[in-house]
Amino acid sequence: MSANLSNDVLARDRQQMVESQLRARGIADPRLLEAFSSVPRHEFLPEKSQPEAYEDHPLPIGEGQTISQPYIVAVTLDALALRPSQVVLEIGTGSGYQTALLAQLTKYVYSIERYPALAARAQAALLRLGYSNVLVLVGDGSKGLAECAPYDAIVVAAAAPRIPGPLFQQLREGGSMVIPIGPADVQELDMVRKHNGAPMVTVLEGCRFVPLIGEQGYSGGFPPD
């Protein structure tokens, strides 16, 4: 923790985030609000960024990646209506903050990160904070993790050109996936429900995420304009 920040200040900022950025904008699930109230977002950030930990915008975490705006994370998790008995696959561990929220809300989380350095930092933070129901792996998240499927829910924290087939296949019948779809400049956050083996898509929000790099994503990043 930064020497310039006290636990009291950080706790106050975290509660202000919950009230002004989440509850005031329609996030009402008590379990979800409690998770955001208790997970210390600053612990998943580089020290220089900790003073901004509870502000309403993304922040850089290294490797050209970001930790998402708290509200977008809340919209994603609220749409999934997660339950304590569920097993979740997360694509794009990033800082590990969303992973921690998922760990509080569900039974077990498998999380795949493309960048080894980010995976290692996220795993260290999760272990330090006592989250034992998480497995962080390094790999191509666009292909999912077939050996542990099916999943009750899948959360994708990077934009894809389309719904990756392997991820949809690994989703349990009746399960849900939230994924950003689109190129760099125009993306939508989609809720995808698996109903009779077919995708039922609902658009949640406009959004802006880094690209999903991999076999089922963008091969080398977003295409040039």
Active site residue: 6, 38, 68, 111, which one?
68
Which of 69-97 are b and which e, b meaning 16 or more Cβ less than 10 Å from the residue's Cβ?
bbbbbbbbbbbbebeeebbbbbbbbbbbb
Tens-digit pLDDT profile for residues 48-95: 999 999 999 999 999 989 999 999 999 999 999 999 999 999 999 999
- Domain-embedded: residue 223: no
Is residue 138 helix, strand or coil? strand
Tell me, what's the pLDDT at 3? 42
pLDDT tier at 193, thresholds 50, 70, 90: very high
User: Shortest CA distance to 77 belongs to which of 165, 146, 178, 205?
Assistant: 178
Respond yes or no: is residue 68 known to be catalytic.
yes
- Domain-embedded: residue 130: yes
| Percent of the chain at pLDDT exceeding 90 | 91
- Domain-embedded: residue 192: yes
The whole domain housing 80 covers 56-207
What pTM was estimated for this model as a whole? 0.94
- Domain-embedded: residue 85: yes
CATH code where residue 92 lies = 3.40.50.150
- Domain-embedded: residue 33: no
- Domain-embedded: residue 114: yes
- Domain-embedded: residue 9: no
Number of domains in the chain: 1
Is residue 52 helix, strand or coil? helix
